[in-house]
Structure 1
Amino acid sequence: MNITALNNLTPYFLFIILIIFSSCENTNKKETSNLDEIRNMMQEYRQAWKNGDSASVLNKLSDDIILFLPGKTGKPIITKNNVSEFWFPKSDIKYPIIQYEVKNEDVESSGDMAYYQGLSKLTWCTIENGIARDTIQSVSEFTNILKKEGRKWKIYRIMYNLKDSNYTR
């Protein structure tokens, strides 16, 4: 191939390189947008817990969620309906959330799957027949797997490991 032929192809090579870089930039913008959507959704999830809004909490879950319980004997709870019965049992005892914080937040996504993990500090009280009984705090390291369903991120898997109350990462 002579120099003139190469010079004639140069604009095409530059165009192809420009397309490649442009598609990489669009992918990065999409992933950044996904991370922001996930952070916002998880903030809404925590706020729904603090508001005592079980419908909004459950709306953030995938129908085929699996909740992995910590410990050697804790069997996973499978499906949104079963998680709902576990978290919000029909009873005279209520467990309102007083505080729900996340530290060391880490979020990554790829396509329609993502993870959201960190250190959770949850404080709630026990109310039985309208009388406050106990205030309880739990600290846990957690990993949530999320799946994009339609245009919304949903919590697909929840795994957590309970820690001592003074635990820090």
Structure 2
Amino acid sequence: MAASSIKIFDTSESVDPTVGFISLPLKKSNFQIQRPYDMPEDQRYSFIDGVHKLWVFKTDKPHSPESHTKPRTEIRILGYDYSSGIWQFEGYGFVPNGTSGVCIMQVFGAGHHATTLMLRVYDGTLSYYTTPLPAVPNIYDRWFRLNVIMMFMLGI
């Protein structure tokens, strides 16, 4: 089970939340692109000048014919055990105006639900599941930095 808390950092603060963590770069060998099963990867994903770009349309199919999920295009990180320890995810995001319901990040492995954490955008507001984070309104059409620290404890 994971313990999580959300802290919104003002970008003018001199706090660096990455201090003390070891960087594990995202490499093609440790991730998988999940996309609509009837689309070639290059129709829903690109990596140009250091930017991973993913897109999905509400009319897309799920990532496999057997899936009962909604359409998705996502990077699934592989090869790490997130069941214990303290882990940090840092990345930048950009959500185009008019996009709603998009999941920015999720962490699987909760005790009673599929996910421990899900950050989504609804009507331009970053939300924890469906609860708006008031410090992050109007996220559309601008780059934002996301830094999440999760602590996983066994037996809780």
TM bucket (normalised to shorter chain) is under 0.3
TM-score, normalised on structure 1?
A: 0.22
TM-score, normalised on structure 2?
A: 0.24
Q: Which has the higher contact order (CA 8 A, sep 6+)?
A: 2
Indicate the structure with greater helix content. Answer: 1
Indicate the structure with greater strand content. Answer: 1
